[in-house]
Amino acid sequence: MKKIRIIIVSVLAITLWSACENDGFYYQDEPRVRLKGPYEWALNTDSLEFSFASSPSTVTKQEMLMTLHVMGNPVNKDRVANLELVSAQSTATSSQYSIPLQVTVPANQLTVNFTVDLLRTVELQDKTVRLYIKLAESADFKTGVVEQDHFLFKWNDVLSKPKNWETELKSVFGEYSLVKYRFMIDILDTATFSSETMSWAELNNYKIKMRNALTAYNEAHPTEPLKDENGQLVSF
């Protein structure tokens, strides 16, 4: 009886191991596909949020690396998976993103990466937009598990006043304005200023750089010096 039990346990272990080899699934059905977003943004969820606000204005695109996983066995030919945009759950316009509607899985491969580009437009300074994508059946693949057959992107360019502006930064850079803060980000290539991580000398050096940059900007635009959203001249 003991030998029989050992044989049964061994057979079950081998069967379970074989079943789990295939992309983590016990899968013997038609080829299917599933989606995964970039871990650093999505953290293994089905959505992500991103803001351009802390990036210089020269940054107009953010690439999000997506991964398409095949559920099934590799084959010795290229296969194509389809994606579709779900307009009912999206608010982004076509000028605010770029996405391939077909993704080719190379022969003998079970995963392939592709990018969704989130684009920066002026409208994003006032609102967050959404892009909802979903897998669709193709000649090569059906859709996979419901939890991973879709993905939601949310992004904006909404800049908010740093919490430490009145207590720390006002004495260095002066009165706050959105225009001033964006100008600082463009020139200094950072959106974080704090006396907790920076010395007084470093903050003062930033102020000098901003004064010089503002002088250069105003000299280049003698009839249109830099003004804030309230029509007041920007100063440091």
| Residue of 236, 122, 225 lying closest to 177 (CA atoms) | 236
| Res 1: pLDDT | 52
| Residue of 125, 118, 105, 130 lying closest to 46 (CA atoms) | 130
Whether the CB-CB separation of 155 and 109 falls below 8 Å is answered with no
User: Is the CA virtual torsion 185, 191, 196, 197 positive or negative?
Assistant: negative
Distance between CA atoms of residues 134 and 184, nearest Å:
39
| Res 16: pLDDT | 41
If DSSP states are collapsed to H, E and C, what string results for 69-114? Answer: EEECCCCCCCEEEEEEECHHHCCCCHHHEECCCEEEECCCCCEEEE
Angle subtended at Cα 72 by Cα 67 and Cα 75, rounded to the nearest 5 degrees: 90
DSSP secondary structure letter of residue 196: T
Element (H, E) at 22: none
Question: For residue 98, which amino acid is it?
Answer: S
Distance between CA atoms of residues 159 and 129, nearest Å:
15
Tokens of 98: 């770029």
| Res 133: pLDDT | 98
| Res 195: pLDDT | 86
| Residue of 115, 78, 79 lying closest to 97 (CA atoms) | 115
| Residue of 114, 104, 109 lying closest to 35 (CA atoms) | 114
| Res 196: pLDDT | 87
Output the tens digit of pLDDT for each of the chain's 236 residues: 545 454 444 434 444 444 444 444 445 579 999 999 999 999 999 999 999 999 999 999 999 999 999 999 999 999 999 999 999 999 999 999 999 999 999 999 999 999 999 999 999 999 999 999 999 999 999 998 999 999 999 999 999 999 999 999 999 999 999 999 999 999 999 999 998 889 999 999 999 999 999 999 999 999 999 999 999 999 99
| Res 139: pLDDT | 96
DSSP structure string for 130-180: EEEEEEE--SS-EE--GGGSEEEEEEE------TTIIIIIHHHH-S--HHH
